[in-house]
C-alpha cells in the first residue's frame, strides 16, 4: 500500500502578515487564512499558477525550490501564450478557460486561438488541455 505524496508548488512562510491579498487574487480559492494570521496554500486546490507568489506584497511566498520574489521584481502574473504556428484551432483551450480569455480566430484556410491578455489570469488551465503543447506561460 503506497501513499500519494502531495507536492505543493508554493508555500506561504511565517513572514506572512495576513493581509489576504494572495487569498483574494487566487483564482482557485486555494489560500486559507484569516486576516492578520499566516495564510496556507491548500494543496488539493492549488493549480500551481503562481498568482500568490506574484501578488504577495511581503514576498512571503516560496516556490517549490524555496525561492521568493524580491520586491525589485515586477509583480506581474504570467500570461498564457499560444504559438500561432503550432495551434490547430481545436478549441480545447477556449472551452476550458474559466476566464473567457481565449478567442477563436477563423481565417479562410486556418483556424487558430489567441489569448486576450487583459482577461488571462495565468491559471494554466489551457495548458493542460492542449493536445499540441503549443501553449506556455510567460
86 with 38, same domain? no
Contacts of residue 25, defined as CB under 8 A and 6 or more positions apart, other chains included, come to 51, 52, 55
89 with 48, same domain? no
Task: Supply 129's cell numbers.
Answer: 488541455
In a domain, 74, yes or no: no
Report the alpha-carbon angle 34-36-40, nearest 5: 50
89 with 58, same domain? no
The structural domain count of the chain equals: 2
pLDDT of residue 76: 61
46 with 86, same domain? no
Task: Supply 41's cell numbers.
Answer: 496554500
* Better-scored residue on pLDDT, 122 or 56: 56
Spell 3-34 as b/e; 16+ CB within 10 A means b.
eeeeebbbbbeeebebbbbbbebbbbebbebe
Q: What is the extent of the structural domain holding 85?
A: 80-137
In a domain, 70, yes or no: no
58 with 21, same domain? yes
Express each pLDDT in 1-22 by its tens digit: 444 444 678 999 999 999 898 9
49 with 84, same domain? no
Report the alpha-carbon angle 65-14-121, nearest 5: 60
The CATH number of whichever domain residue 33 belongs to comes to 3.30.70.20
Amino acid at each position: 500500500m503506497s501513499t500519494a505524496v502531495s507536492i505543493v508548488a508554493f508555500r506561504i512562510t511565517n513572514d506572512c502578515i495576513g493581509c489576504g491579498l494572495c487569498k483574494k487574487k487566487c483564482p482557485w480559492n486555494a489560500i486559507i487564512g484569516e486576516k492578520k494570521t499566516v495564510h496556507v496554500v491548500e494543496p488539493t486546490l492549488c493549480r500551481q499558477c503562481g498568482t500568490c507568489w506574484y501578488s504577495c506584497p511581503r514576498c512571503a511566498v516560496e516556490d517549490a525550490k524555496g525561492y521568493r520574489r524580491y520586491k525589485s521584481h515586477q509583480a506581474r502574473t504570467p500570461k498564457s501564450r499560444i504559438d500561432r504556428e503550432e495551434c490547430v484551432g481545436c478549441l480545447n483551450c477556449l472551452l476550458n478557460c474559466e476566464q473567457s480569455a481565449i478567442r477563436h480566430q477563423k481565417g479562410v484556410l486556418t483556424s487558430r486561438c489567441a489569448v486576450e491578455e487583459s482577461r488571462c489570469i495565468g491559471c494554466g488551465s489551457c495548458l493542460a488541455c492542449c493536445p499540441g503543447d503549443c501553449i506556455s506561460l510567460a
